[in-house]
Chains A and B, each alone.
Chain A
Amino acid sequence: MAVVNMEKKQESKRTRIINMILSVVFALICLVYIYPIFLIVTNSLKIESAISTNTAFKLPTADTFAGIANYIYGVTKMDFLSSFLYSLFITVSSVVLIILCCSMCAWYISRVNTLASKAMYYLCIFSMVVPFQMVMFTLAKTADTLKLNTPFNICIIYLGFGAGLAVFMFTGFMKSMPLEIEEAAMIDGCSPIQMFFRVVMPITKPTTISTAILETMWVWNDYLLPTLVLDIKKYRTIPMDIQYFRGSYGSVQMAPMMACIVITIIPVILLYLFCQKYIIEGVVAGAVKG
């Protein structure tokens, strides 16, 4: 007995040492992992003339330190604030619309067993596989014809193209929900619309959060769809703004550019640090269903 205990103790001691080494190794890897972001931050604090490919890794010195001048210049020159607001508005309106319409549609699909509802379900799954390039030209033309080409109604396009994932996730969850609750509510005189908002929506809350997170990550960072649909001279989302100023070669000013990249990243990282639990759960839930 004593021998077994000794062995166990030795083993756990060895595991502890290995784990400690691993912790240190991982800490170093993590430093390397966030280095690219650190690099952008340091460069965004340098004056324009101190930025070149050769000196990218040098920290700003007293001579090359620019303070927040790049940030002010970048924000005013790139009209960053309006891009930010357009991005925010498009993301919020699209995600709210997607969640509302797709959860209703998914409930219908999971409760009504007709050919039409099955067809809708399989079409949604199909749409998830289709690459955007397949529809980009015709979608942009359709949006133009129907005048869906402003930030205020582009959410309808996002609903159409994002419906696949959302309907799929909601249907998966709703099919596993017990019917008894809904039947009881129906006997008590609940209309389908009341039932959906008072009974079904509260139960599907976890799926709603997961889906909202996945769709938000997509819409907020999407570049090609708004580029093709919106008039770039009038409206620019953040990814469009970055590409518009960086992509036009020649007189690109790198320092304000990097300042803008930093301001683009900051809200995302802050949001992530606060809602980390939900985001990670959302990703896992999305993957398990997928």
Chain B
Amino acid sequence: MELQQPAATNKEKRHFDLDKVAPYIAVAPFYILFLIFGLFPVVFSAYLAVSKWDGLGQIQYLGMDNFSRLITDMDFWLSLKNTLIIWAIGTIPMLFMALVLAFCLNLKFIKHKEFLKSVLFLPNITSVVAISILFGLIFSNFNGLANGLLGVFGLKPIKWLTEPGWVRVVIASVNIWQYTGYNMIIYLTGIIRIPGDLYEAARMDGASNPQIFWNVTIPQLKPIILFTVMMSTIGGLQIFSEAQVLVPTGATPQGGAMTIVYYLYQTAFTQHQFGYGSAIAWGLVVVIMFFSLLNWFITTKRVKGA
């Protein structure tokens, strides 16, 4: 008996089929990293969301307490409001600008297209922290460039980073600056794929460039526009670094600079309430799912309507 056991495993080993195993080995680096840094934190944060933990002591099970606290937590809702406002004033003008830029770049008389594309895309690959520091200097309350310009026109300086209304604009502007080029590239790809005869026909009928833009480019780009809106919504709801670097201290939900992820970061990593922080994260998951479903609903309806 004892002798037969290893013999059996040896026999099994002989049947080791490299062709079947190789693909798994090939995807293993991704999956191992995904399991450690992707799946595990997600599962662990779900566990923490129903617990109380300061990062050091015992994890105490709380049940749904964190979630009932979340629903009545005004700070959470105000942070959500800030996030949505920042998203709205950032995303809408950004996508429009990206679309106009993409359209212009595709016009025949524009030269050095590759150079312009690279330059416009550059902000996207720049560190968001560096960009935010730069914007912090531009919008500094006292000696900033923005207030300097206002002064040239005889206008009163604005407290960009401390007024609840303006700080949202500044945070949104970082986002605009960073993502316009990215969305432009996506639109440009879409525009190139629009059949040339549509433009030709429009030009034959005497349409001007703005008319072509509104009546040919935009309708043809609808699926791509919806894609960018959806991606920008998901990204916009997770806005964090911009707010954190521009307002590193004293950010409050009422003060305008506190976004949901910033609130979650502060709760978990500054106040060490990892349980409630995780509950906020799951609250955000619900919000993102809601908006994704909304987007999906609008998209399918449009497709059906078309």
Partners in one complex: no
